[in-house]
Amino acid sequence: MKIQSVEPIEVAAPADELSSPWSSTVILVKVTTSNGAVGWGESPTTLMTHPVRESVREVARFYEGRDLSEHHAALREFERYSFYRSRSMEATSALSGVDIACYDLIGRELGAPISTLLGGRIRDRVRAYSNGWYSDAIRPQEFAEKARAMVRSGFRALKFDPFGDQYRTLSPEGLAAAVDRVAAVRHAVGEMVDLLIEYHGRFLPEAAVRAGRALDEFHPRFMEEPVIPELTDSLAEFRRAVRTPVALGERLLTAADFESFLRRGLVDILQPDITNSGGFTYGREIAGVAAAHGAPVAYHNAFGPVQTAATLQMDAVLPTFFLQESFEASWPDWKRSLVRGYEIDSGEFAIPSKPGLGIEVDERAVEKYRSEMVDPIGPEPPWVIAGTWVRRTPGAGPPKPTGASERPRRR
């Protein structure tokens, strides 16, 4: 089979849906072969939807016309020509989506799940932690109520960002508010539920350390991206000052990046994202680095259902698997409608065993939500869970965009 076409497809939330900016768009990658077979991949968005979509078209030039069995050679050729690849999330994200789709096609052709192509699964189920559950929570009791609901649904691990509108620096009032939120959640769910503290990589080192010391008493399982990415060398200081393990990885793009962070003692738990760090091809290299260092792996998984399906295939074979991120419990209906074939129940994913990714993409839903929308911005930053930075008014509809260039445009 030859790779006939590589098509990036943007799908987006309906115009009247109120959602977080980062969750408003999804980039799917559809790879079609000369005999009509189709494989699916996904690339991340987060305020770079259109740059990533256009990068997929650049990557496509290296794949289209080749035999499917040569997809690895196509990846290595792109690697040679892509001058900024190791520092360009647009390039690696596009490459990831195409690589995932090629593995999906090969698995379907061979009648085997991708986990078999990666050496065979060593687990059939994985424990998940819930994220996104705390939308529209600002007061401690709001966090507590939503946390209890997640625990009632079966989750025994919850990740959340308690820092509200604090950015770079951390005021005494901001720290006190964060402590109150975490204390409320810990009291609500008890000690047997893992709490995972998300910093979103936005604090200067001094502020991050103050927050870490203050939150240590609640025994989080990890603290994620405590300092801004430009100052990650300061993580050594953070790890000396704070007892809770450090997790990161969604902004790292290559196996060499992960190895460097581990070798320099800057991280405890790795969080690669299969949709921006080279799909399954580079994913195997990153898993090897983690295994060599004995580093736990908790894949970042914050975008769409094809990403989840691909990530689960990696989870099945990881020797140092730790936890799996899940937003599924907080997804809007449009995102749920895109894919069938995997499920989460009582806080655990069953890993699909059907060929390829083990899922079926509903192409009618894809067409229904096909979009040219530019990522919305404001009043909250694009990484914020909606309603946790500023209070939203019920029934007021989505916040208005700040300029004409951000207005949704649909085909």
Residues labelled catalytic? 200, 300
* Bridge partners, 350 (sequence order): 125, 343
The two three-digit tokens of residue 368, written as one number: 């229904």
CA 114 to chain centre: 19
Q: Is the dihedral of CA 336, 342, 343, 344 positive or negative?
A: negative
